Structure 1
Amino acid sequence: MSNLRTLVFFATPAHDCSYIPGRQATTMFVDPRAQVDKRLYSQLTSLGFRRSGSHYYRPHCEHCNACVPVRLKVEDFMPDRSQRRVLKKNSDLTCRMVTASFTERYYDLYSRYIEQRHSDGDMYPPSREQFTSFLVEGATDSWFLEILDQDQLVGLAAVDKLDEGLSAIYTVFEPSYEHRSLGTFAILWQIEEANRLELSYLYLGYWIAECRKMNYKTRFQPIEALRDGHWQVMDQH
């Protein structure tokens, strides 16, 4: 089994940045041949890495530090008025955690979400292979949060369990349920789940000040950012 001292890392060639137009990006990733168990995955996450299928990566751009890893200390979180409204609005929904896997039911929801909400993004057009390689392959204590309106699947969130927290990987929802704010609801549910499991953190991936789609992450307070190798509460002023 690999460990931090034996890992080999690679860097991609510069490519167009997916988040900031006009910029070039470079990504560092762990050697795909490495055997990454839950303990090592947890250590990598605390160092700012993310998982996409079987790949563990983090931005490694020479002249840009815009992508900032962020996490929430769940025991200190108090929902604001807007978040309390989201919880109340969705109190009629049922949530359950199931082992991450491929089903046509999951893929149908994923496909509708990508086609209707992200047709201008890197993940369009969706495919079954894409769903599997992104959300199912490489699973290490990986789960799907099902959000159900009676028997209808209206939301699906990929969640990884780490040694000291949960990692929110990706969330999709029924486009016609946009008014329910299910993306926010999924995060609020994961915060509650981390508390129930007596875990300290919910890792939320990267926050980018110049990317409007990332703004929702700073609405969960107090949020911590990894800067210069240290996690610290992010200054919002």
Structure 2
Amino acid sequence: MRHTLPIAPQFYVTAPQSCPYLDGRKERKLFTALQGEGAQRLNDSLSKQGFRRSQNVLYRPACAECSACLSARINIDDFTMTRSQRKTLKRNAGLERRATSPWATEEQYALFRRYLEHRHADGGMADMDTFEFAAMIEETPIRTRVVEYTDCETGDLVAVCLTDVLDDGVSMVYSFYDPDRPRDSLGTYIILDHIEIARENRLPHVYLGYWVPGSAKMGYKAAFSGLEVYVNGGWEKKRDSSEYSAQLHPLSNDPISEQVANIALPDGRPLRALKP
């Protein structure tokens, strides 16, 4: 009798490169392709294990000497709006939300370029052309929406978020906004509105990407109550930021082979269970 093993995703590791969040450190990513009929289930499962999506790839930090990057999400039931966040909602009351299929437009790209030039001129996306932008928006094998925010008075597009719909929440893949409206705190507003989107769809979480203790670029995520981080194979309520300093220790990571073996597939089995 012939026996065959279930088809499992293959995982790879990138070469070390400069960390965009912490000076003097190197980053590596563990990644796998997101394709085929099981793409949605795989994305749902790995998102719960700290992975993020970029086009048709799922990735998670796998640095040799650091584990400071922590996947973060907001637990909707534990979220309470602050006074400052209420003011942000009030200031943006004149914006209209529209969720569409993932289709790139010239108006989106123009806003994206302005955002990068003002906020991330030296970042990894600074040289992204219109075709690469279209690929970022449109190359998705799962349930994805482009959430646009327009000014009701002028009709101008002021903010955009590429958003995945998971079985337990919405994942904010990438957002950008008008850099000429700093007082409106549009980045915070987009998150607040995604909390509302999750509530409207009875989904318990909003996935924010990675929170990095000690990185000024990521500090804004810690301002949201109900924040949970993925640590040592499970989600926990975020503690005081200083308590995560040990994550910078070179012995804080398991070997890559062990990390991969412990990844759970959509049916709940770890990858190690598929080994012959």
Alignment TM class, shorter chain as reference: over 0.9
Is 1:127 the counterpart of 2:138? The answer is no
Higher strand share: 1
Where does 1:14-25 land on structure 2 (aligned, <5 Å)? Answer: 14-25=16-27
CA–CA distance in structure 2, aligned partners of residues 15 and 30 of structure 1:
18
Deviation of residue 32 (structure 1)? 5.9
Across the aligned residues of Structure 1 and Structure 2, the Cα RMSD in angstroms comes to: 1.6
What residue ranges of structure 2 are gaps of 5+ in the alignment? 1-5, 242-276
Cα distance, 1:93 vs structure 2: 1.1
Indicate whether 1:190 and 2:194 are aligned: yes
For 1:198 and 1:32, locate their aligned partners in 2 and report how far apart those are by CA, in whole Å. 26
Distance 2:74 2:209 in 1: 11
Task: Please tell me whether residue 49 in structure 1 is matched to residue 58 in structure 2.
Answer: no
Where does residue 7 of structure 1 map in the other structure?
9
The reply on whether 1:210 has 2:217 as its aligned counterpart is no
Moved more, 129-138 or 6-15: 129-138
1:99/1:33 Cα in 2 relative to 1: closer, same or farther (>3 Å)? closer
TM-score by length of 2: 0.81
1:126 shift after superposition: 3.1
Matching of residue 163 in structure 1 with residue 163 in structure 2: no
| 3-state SS of 1:179 partner | helix
Which residue is 2:86 aligned to? Answer: 84
Unaligned runs of 5+ in 1: none
Equivalence for 2:100 = 98
Q: If you compute each CA radius of gyration, which structure gives the higher value, 1 or 2? A: 2
Contact 2:17/2:26, CA 8 A, preserved across alignment: yes
| Alpha-carbon distance, 1:63 to partner | 1.5
**Equivalent residues of 1:10, 1:31 under 8 A apart:** no
Decide whether aligned partners of structure 1 residues 90 and 139 sit closer, same or farther in structure 2, where only a CA change above 3 A counts.
farther
Shift of residue 139, structure 1, vs aligned partner: 4.5
Q: Which runs of 4+ in 1 moved over 3 A?
A: 31-36
Residues 168 and 31 (structure 1), Cα distance of their counterparts in 2 relative to 1, 3 Å cut: closer
Does residue 231 in structure 1 map to residue 235 in structure 2? yes
User: Which amino acid in 2 is paired with 1:13?
Assistant: A
Q: How does 1:112-123 map to 2 (within 5 A)?
A: 112-123=114-125
1:39 aligned to 2:41? yes
**How many residue pairs get matched?**
234
Q: Counterpart of 2:180 in 1: which secondary structure?
A: helix
Is the CA contact (8 Å cut-off) linking 2:102 and 2:138 kept in structure 1?
yes
Look up the equivalent residue of 2:101 and give its one-letter code.
Answer: T
Give the distance between the partners of 2:34 and 2:90, measured in 1 at CA.
43
